[in-house]
Structure 1
Amino acid sequence: MLKILSYNVKGLNAPVKRHSLAADVLRLKPDVVCLQETHFKRLAHPPLGIRNFSTQYHAAGPTKARGVSILIRSDVVYQLHRKISDPQGRYLILVCSLNHKTYTLVNVYSPNTEQLSFISGVLHRVSLVATGVLLICGDLNYSIDPSRDVRIFSLNGGRIICST
């Protein structure tokens, strides 16, 4: 079984926040960590330095805003097949093998407005590459009331119900 941790960290540029995240990750022992709102600037982010998580992927925008990351535990047998990252730092898609099983990992940080069109666009991109088990993590910045506001998206003939 794969253990996944997903956090909206609301910025990781302060060392105290990175240390707090590292302590949580070490305590909870996840295999995969998905982080949203990292606030790293493209090509200028600080090292996360979380023990046993040497495989790290980041999607960051041109400014210290947005940003998503996917971290993979070192003792997970891992092979990357494809990586798609948003130049604005809103999503990261990894098609990979984890412990010899194929996954498509998606980490999303949706904007505060036009969430449904953004999510639909991301799901369309995912549908073009999705292989194996699909795992979607993130902060969709959207809350639904299932009794009146269920949105269903189609993905490779399957159904995904959008929820936070």
Structure 2
Amino acid sequence: MCKVITWNVKGLKSPQKRIKILRYLKCLGPDIVLLQETHLVEADFLRMQKLWVGRALGSSAVDGRSGVLTLIHKSFACKILSHEADEAGRLSLVHLEHNGNSYSIYNIYAPNNDNNYFFASLADTVQHSAGPFTILGGDLNSVVDPLLDRKSTLPSQLPTRSSDKINYGKVSHLSTYEMEVISEVDGWLPVVTHKKREYNRILIAQLKH
């Protein structure tokens, strides 16, 4: 088993913030870290790799927004087999080998507009690229109960859950790979103002053939 942490960091362009984030992560002792909304580009990945002392693989931000980065600690004995990244800064896929087993690690930063195309494409990617052991982590920008967590007075604006395409395999995209959901909760994050609350959907699942 390995220890994995996922975190939407809301930007890492500040050198001071990068140091603070990495210092805190090192205290937690993870093997793998999945960071979202980094705002970093490929030129920044090497800087992060030197500070982290391990591997840093990601997808570059577009127009100073989005961006994901996967950090693998040097103490985690593994062989990187391949790395794939999209062009929108929303998906990084690392294939690696650890203790004789192959792992596929998806770092996901979904659009905040419940984008049906994104989740359909992601489901298709999982179907064709997932290994025997698969980890999906990140910020899905989705919630467990849309009617409760994203209220609207207009019926036409009530949100859907496009992320169900990847979470439950309700469509044909996941006919080969089905996901067994172990736990699913909304994590509420503290914010400065009491007039606003932020959420993130936490999905604990395993992929089965």
TM-score by length of 2: 0.69
1:91-132 CA distances to partner (integer Å, 9 max, x unpaired)? 011121134321110000001113343122112112111112
Structure 2 SS opposite 1:45:
helix
TM-score by length of 1: 0.86
1:147-158 to structure 2, matched below 5 A, reads: 151=164, 152-153=168-169, 154=174, 156-158=176-178
Corresponding residue for residue 110 of structure 2? 110
Corresponding residue for residue 21 of structure 1? 21
CA gap of 1:66–1:146, structure 2 versus 1, over 3 A, is closer
Query: Which runs of no fewer than 5 residues in structure 2 stay unpaired?
Result: 149-159, 185-200, 202-209
- Are the counterparts in 2 of residues 109 and 138 from structure 1 also a CA contact under 8 Å? yes
Structure with bigger gyration radius? 2
Aligned length: 162
Deviation at 1:83, TM superposition (A): 1.7
2:97 pairs with 1:77:
no
Corresponding residue for residue 30 of structure 1? 30
Corresponding residue for residue 68 of structure 2? 68
1:21-66 CA distances to partner (integer Å, 9 max, x unpaired)? 111111000000100000013x332612434x32110101342210
| Structure 2 letter corresponding to 1:111 | P
1:1-164 to structure 2, matched below 5 A, reads: 1-41=1-41, 43-45=42-44, 47-48=47-48, 49-51=50-52, 53-145=53-145, 151=164, 152-153=168-169, 154=174, 156-159=176-179, 164=201
Which has the higher mean CA deviation after the structures are superposed, 144-153 or 66-75?
Answer: 144-153
Greater relative contact order structure (CA < 8 Å, 6+ sep): 1
Instruction: Give distance in 1, aligned partners of 2:146 and 2:111.
Output: 21
Which has the higher mean CA deviation after the structures are superposed, 125-134 or 152-161?
Answer: 152-161
Instruction: Give distance in 1, aligned partners of 2:115 and 2:129.
Output: 22
Query: Which runs of no fewer than 5 residues in structure 1 stay unpaired?
Result: none
Instruction: Give distance in 2, aligned partners of 1:99 and 1:59.
Output: 27
Which has the higher mean CA deviation after the structures are superposed, 84-93 or 107-116?
Answer: 107-116
Deviation at 1:14, TM superposition (A): 0.4
Instruction: Give distance in 1, aligned partners of 2:70 and 2:4.
Output: 10
Which structure has greater helix proportion?
2
Percent identity (aligned):
26
CA gap of 1:75–1:39, structure 2 versus 1, over 3 A, is same
| Structure 1 letter corresponding to 2:10 | K
| Structure 1 letter corresponding to 2:31 | D
Which has the higher mean CA deviation after the structures are superposed, 144-153 or 88-97?
Answer: 144-153
